[in-house]
Amino acid sequence: MSQQAISVDNLNLYYGQNHALKNISMDIDKNSVTALIGPSGCGKSTFLRTLNRMNDMIPGVKIEGQINIHNQNIYSDQVHVEMLRKNVGMVFQAPNPFPKSIYDNVAYGPRIHGLRDKKKLDELIEKSLRGAAIWDEVKDRLKDKATGLSGGQQQRLCIARALAVEPEVLLMDEPTSALDPISTAKIEELIQELKTSYTIVIVTHNMQQAARISDKTAFFLSGDLIEYNKTEQLFSTPKHKQTEDYITGRFG
């Protein structure tokens, strides 16, 4: 049996009058890849953002229910949101490196969290860049601007930046949708390697991608979690007609 990393209970989220997540309950396995799929506007990104409280800053948001990550209720008053986001990192759709050097991009988080020792920092940068499978491509140009990298390299740099603060969970919102097929394949391969050390939750519009890389898949529709199952089963024998319609391309 896999251990569970995240447990979501009766989660409801409202943007003003818009009930964007409707009573979602799901457990997410540790050291696994969980894919979130569903048509545009169904709540995938909203759900992902609830896992590190990124919706908190949006005005008019109301969140009910409970989310436990490694047995801590992340919406409790005792939780330091900064520490939560260190533990639950995020990679976005468009690569968004800071306009700084490659080195400083990866050093950014650790420095904020107080790491000053140059040798330790160097080691951590190398480890993070290796972890994101980009070390060999950048090791001789660490002082160069990150914005000079290709899109696929920038996205792997952003993954390295997320890894540098040593999180346990990685959230990825359509991380390959802006990338060419070769860069996409590299990131997919990387995700497979990363799941041995991290719990990964990924939003994707690409069903082949979900089928290739995830262990479990959750299908959302209009804020409801319609079906959540082992990826193989969800794609081969969906239990709900709506899931079947979506994965066979009849809508969405």
Ligand X SMILES: Nc1ncnc2c1ncn2[C@@H]1O[C@H](COP(=O)(O)OP(=O)(O)OP(=O)(O)O)[C@@H](O)[C@H]1O
Is 175 a binder of ligand X (CB under 6 A)? no
Most distant pair of Cα atoms in the chain: their distance: 57
What is the spatial distance between Cα 106 and Cα 164, in angstroms, rounded to a whole number?
Answer: 6
Q: Name the token pair of 223.
A: 């804020």
Report, in Å, the least distance between residue 175 CB and ligand X. 13
Query: Which helix (DSSP H) or strand (DSSP E) does residue 13 occupy?
Result: strand 4-15
What is the spatial distance between Cα 49 and Cα 35, in angstroms, rounded to a whole number?
Answer: 14
User: By C-alpha distance, which of 51, 48, 47 is closest to 81?
Assistant: 51
Determine the size of the site formed for Mg ion (CB under 5 A).
Answer: 1
Is 50 a binder of ligand X (CB under 6 A)? no
Question: Looking at beta carbons only, is 42 or 107 nearer to ligand X?
Answer: 42
Question: Looking at beta carbons only, is 45 or 50 nearer to Mg ion?
Answer: 45
Is 41 a binder of ligand X (CB under 6 A)? yes
Is 55 a binder of Mg ion (CB under 5 A)? no
Residue 160 interacts with which of Mg ion, ligand X, none, CB < 5 to 8 Å by class: none
Residues 7-36 as x/- pattern, contact with ligand X by CB under 6 A: --------x--x-x----------------
Report, in Å, the least distance between residue 202 CB and ligand X. 12
Query: Which helix (DSSP H) or strand (DSSP E) does residue 149 occupy?
Result: none
Is 46 a binder of ligand X (CB under 6 A)? yes
In sequence order, which residues have a C-beta less than 8 Å from that of residue 236 and are 6 or more positions away?
none
